[in-house]
Chains A and B, each alone.
Chain A
């Protein structure tokens, strides 16, 4: 250990030096043991981009989620675990090395089904150990979306990667790339231009020199989408990518859109392709039987032509070239080589990828907008995988119930609310639906049991009366003399903190209702740029018209009423305008010219009106639909006259910002929701730290801070609801704290909640169940250094210094969390043949103040915490005290009985020894033993087992059961319990008397025998000592 001592000395000197300077701990070093929890839900799951089956082991499969990372199943798709949480969560493709499928995994990031709400990727990744560790492969940082990876099965160092590229801008990283050295170096072997990317890149597995690549010209803006152009095309190479030729023989001339291509694994000459063309009659499925030399048009049914940008995927049965699956709104299957199709069975709409099982064509997996489905009968019946919490929230809000509920809307999955905690965890059945279509903003009325929700473009805005189960449509509608209303796809709504029935909505105008949406008043002029060139959605889509409303633009996107003044209202628009009124909407001040460092027309994604000053607000800006992924966040304290930048260099590249949440107490504590995860600052934005403890790099679309619990609740777009419980320790962090070796954070009093309902968990084997908030006392402290050497212990004591219990302290550098469930110790039970539940039932402490003692080496640190009773308790204070008293008396009685049994047993041991070894004393000893054993059999169970061979309960078991009953009760001690107590106490008295009588009679003789023969007396420990054993 010499080395370590020396090292520690050096470090000590270094630490001394450091102390003179500011300590800026970041990320993992600061947050220590503070961990996020995930509550899903998984019942509607979320969009999945790609499925990858293990080539030989049918137990293993992977999925790449649109916004939720990479997941691995080792049980044939029954359950999944995430394996890519440290990296960007938007996934294009997952590919296993054909030779080393257990070790080598390739992941191309960036979703490839390019709807309006897609996230971004940032390159190509490789794992060589089955997904435990990943490295980023240089060269693809700007790729944004990788659509395909093809690996030569004979030489797995030879790999082709199809880069689809940027959705909202030109991008020269597009095209087909090749490596021949396992990814060390790459050559771009097919490139068209900065607006045309590679979709499917496939290889003939029987001849790896033969490749096919589909190229797609496409572009999205905030207000339009275009699929198709003269540069789209289908290419083939027969020389391992050296040269490429278009294979369009039979295709119509003119522009082409997105193209899918698939090769029949059982016959390399058979290819299927899906085309988007200028001639509607030629759209849909094409087939070649001569390896692409000639093409024949087969089918343009709806299922084959629907939304090519979203569904261009064909899968062919590995064993039968005539069985074809096509992704689509419902998904289609052909069993006659593509001549006719029927829909797949019922499942969530919008199927993006389909994979056959390795060995059995009846078994298949479908990736949808609502998770992964399995079929066992050729696609007719489908069942959902229930433990993929990939839900994609656009927005969330909270209420003040206990436990509080979370409300939110999801991509293609409606609107829901559910509790943050529930008995046994947050299960699928805990979630309640409150809207159809795509869900966005969902708000609870502040005082009434009413929930507002909406669907895309405010086509419906619902006011749902929860108690009466009645719904009313309340969206603002067109009026005489007013222009047509323009609502965003994700239309903003807000409730007032000052007038509970007041409700706001934003089109291009701000609408206000004073009667929960029954009637509306427009309280603003058009607050947007009203740029008519961005309002032609009816011609959006390119070759296939796609006017879903998703591209509606020049609309209000965020509304923020000041919590301090109902006349101060902020509005932000999708075309970059920030407006504020200080007179309740009579006049508006366009403060956009005052913004600093924000490119014109950058989407105002969220405005947060501060509790720290009427004129204080935060605004975040999102330029991603202009190809600008920079992080932008500004703060004003003077109603928008001046703004300051609060983004630092700490925020990683491309982490564009969608939301900000301020702390209600510490103005310098801020939470930033970015496309690549959560960032936290404790100094008003000078330094930011990425929070990564059980927090994936997922797009955080919305954050709210719950006032009652200080829980930070995040609506993520791909991993559901993620909660950081009680952020109050972060409020207390400052230089003084960071310089200490150990610092306890102050806490509010802890309530000993008395809920004791039932929780069944049938289905929990394969269902995702959300983690609950701990109801225990949460002891938090900061350690300047991780504790590794020497003893570190933690103890709870009463204020007189009596030990209540021992806890296992957490020892991370940074913030640590230890939970205490308000109990002291369980009673020592009498030894018996079976186990008594009482031995696992500790006493609960009374309300009051307790000491937490942390001992670290020779130093002791102390903190006090307060514990209170549950106000909703069934028991009055007097009854509670009686219950505590009775529990304590029974606890003592249980231990008294244990001691009595100890005395009996030790005497018996001595008697048995004499019986065995001393013929002279055998008679006396036998009489003594028999008397004791008769008593012992009445005191404890001496036969049977812990299950159905259990013996009749004896005094220990009955006493223990009563003790466990009383100690576990949240109510007054019942009449029955009191009667039972009396009976058991009397029986115990009698038993003690019996023991005394035995000792006076048989015992006296036996002891005398021992004395006369100089034999050692039975070793009976003093009671205190016995109880410690």
Chain B
């Protein structure tokens, strides 16, 4: 079952990756929004459904990710006829599928509360960051992926880690040439990799409905082997969604959950 656990890990990472985000930090962010479709277009997005594959050598696992402006989210994979859910959130309850029983289980309260704080990050944490009380800072220029970038520090609402409040800091590296983020880094706060830096590489930006999204996302721990690549094959803006699909299935096993 090792491989399945890896998958679960990848899903967890994805939950943290909203499809995001020069001079001054504000100028860089302004350029970013402008060159990816314009702020008003971004603000008009109410929901996004991503379809794609996780490529683990020899296996392409089809996945589906949904995020909405109301803060609802879902990651779903299907293998061998079984639906496997992760990071499903209806605004109140965060839940996912237990790999042993294939039943839905609630995440712990701390994880749920931390997840709730990300509800306002749709479709991008930088969108209206001041109103959200976030701070941004241009740390400087840095070469990453062989490319000159602007390194921007984003501080969001504090989160709880094993009962203690900690700052939620991430670093976005915006390509100095075209102002899209190509790498995002964030300290891993819990679990066996606590203290290491989680790294997300973004590429294959393509236009969907006038907005630019990365279609290739690689997640891993910085300077460690491994990591997961997600290839996005289709993006649907403002999809029609039944809000019941995000609710914790009280009586049904998630594996048999109807869509």
Q: Please list the residues of chain A having a beta carbon within 8 angstroms of any beta carbon in chain B.
A: 1, 3-4, 7-8, 11, 27-33, 35, 37, 57, 59, 72-75, 79-81, 102, 129-130, 132-133, 693-694, 765, 771-772, 774, 783, 785-793, 805-808, 811-814, 820-821, 823-826, 829-836, 839-840, 842-843, 945-947, 949
Given A788-B205, A808-B229, A945-B101, are A75 and B146 also a contact pair (CB < 8 Å)? Answer: no
Q: Can you name 11 A-B residue pairings with CB atoms under 8 Å?
A: A28-B144, A28-B146, A74-B195, A130-B169, A788-B205, A805-B57, A805-B58, A812-B145, A823-B58, A945-B102, A947-B101
Please tell me if the beta carbons of A792 and B192 are within 8 angstroms of each other in the complex.
no
B59 an interface residue at 8 Å Cβ cutoff? yes
Instruction: Known A-B contacts: A29-B146, A792-B216. Give 13 more (CB < 8 A).
Output: A4-B35, A29-B147, A132-B187, A786-B145, A787-B203, A788-B182, A789-B205, A791-B215, A807-B55, A823-B57, A945-B102, A946-B101, A946-B102
Which of A129, A130, A786, A825 meets B147, CB within 8 Å? A786
Please tell me if the beta carbons of B80 and A829 are within 8 angstroms of each other in the complex.
yes
Please tell me if the beta carbons of B146 and A814 are within 8 angstroms of each other in the complex.
yes
Q: How far apart sit A834 and B4, CA to CA, in the bound complex (Å)?
A: 13
Stretch at the interface among B43-51, B65-73, B110-118, B172-180: B172-180
Q: CB within 8 Å of A: which of B203-246?
A: 203-207, 212, 215-216, 218, 223-225, 229, 231
B133 an interface residue at 8 Å Cβ cutoff? no
CB contacts (< 8 Å) of A3 on chain B: these are 31, 34-35, 178
CB contacts (< 8 Å) of B196 on chain A: these are 81
Please tell me if the beta carbons of B146 and A792 are within 8 angstroms of each other in the complex.
no
CB contacts (< 8 Å) of B34 on chain A: these are 3
Please tell me if the beta carbons of A946 and B99 are within 8 angstroms of each other in the complex.
yes
Please tell me if the beta carbons of A831 and B58 are within 8 angstroms of each other in the complex.
no
Q: How far apart sit A840 and B3, CA to CA, in the bound complex (Å)?
A: 8
Q: Which of B58, B177, B187 counts the most chain A CB atoms within 10 A?
A: B58
Please tell me if the beta carbons of B57 and A821 are within 8 angstroms of each other in the complex.
yes
CB contacts (< 8 Å) of A102 on chain B: these are 166-167
Q: How far apart sit A35 and B144, CA to CA, in the bound complex (Å)?
A: 13
**Which DSSP category, helix, strand, loop or mixed, fits chain A's interface?**
loop
In the complex, what's the smallest C-beta–C-beta distance from A164 to chain B, in angstroms?
30
Q: How far apart sit A813 and B183, CA to CA, in the bound complex (Å)?
A: 13
Which of B79, B101, B164 meets A59, CB within 8 Å? B164
Please tell me if the beta carbons of A811 and B203 are within 8 angstroms of each other in the complex.
yes
CB contacts (< 8 Å) of A839 on chain B: these are 59, 79-80
Please tell me if the beta carbons of B223 and A35 are within 8 angstroms of each other in the complex.
yes
CB contacts (< 8 Å) of B212 on chain A: these are 1
Given A29-B146, A32-B146, A842-B57, are A129 and B203 also a contact pair (CB < 8 Å)? Answer: no
Chain B window 68-99, contacts with chain A (Cβ cutoff 8 Å), 1 for yes, 0 for no: 00000000000111100000000000000001
CB contacts (< 8 Å) of B255 on chain A: these are 833
Please tell me if the beta carbons of A75 and B194 are within 8 angstroms of each other in the complex.
yes
CB contacts (< 8 Å) of B215 on chain A: these are 791
In the complex, what's the smallest C-beta–C-beta distance from B81 to chain A, in angstroms?
3
Q: How far apart sit A372 and B229, CA to CA, in the bound complex (Å)?
A: 37
Please tell me if the beta carbons of B192 and A765 are within 8 angstroms of each other in the complex.
yes
Closest to B204 in A: A791
B171 an interface residue at 8 Å Cβ cutoff? yes
Given A7-B178, A129-B169, A812-B145, are A945 and B57 also a contact pair (CB < 8 Å)? Answer: no
In the complex, what's the smallest C-beta–C-beta distance from A389 to chain B, in angstroms?
13
Q: How far apart sit A351 and B14, CA to CA, in the bound complex (Å)?
A: 45
Q: How far apart sit A840 and B189, CA to CA, in the bound complex (Å)?
A: 30
CB contacts (< 8 Å) of A133 on chain B: these are 139-140, 151, 153
Which of A73, A790, A835 meets B80, CB within 8 Å? A835
Q: How far apart sit A765 and B60, CA to CA, in the bound complex (Å)?
A: 30
CB contacts (< 8 Å) of A947 on chain B: these are 100-101
In the complex, what's the smallest C-beta–C-beta distance from A682 to chain B, in angstroms?
16
In the complex, what's the smallest C-beta–C-beta distance from B63 to chain A, in angstroms?
14
Please tell me if the beta carbons of A129 and B143 are within 8 angstroms of each other in the complex.
no
In the complex, what's the smallest C-beta–C-beta distance from B47 to chain A, in angstroms?
23
Closest to A59 in B: B164
Given A29-B146, A786-B175, are A72 and B195 also a contact pair (CB < 8 Å)? Answer: yes
Chain B window 1-12, contacts with chain A (Cβ cutoff 8 Å), 1 for yes, 0 for no: 101100000000
CB contacts (< 8 Å) of B1 on chain A: these are 946
Q: How far apart sit A68 and B196, CA to CA, in the bound complex (Å)?
A: 17
Q: How far apart sit A569 and B68, CA to CA, in the bound complex (Å)?
A: 73
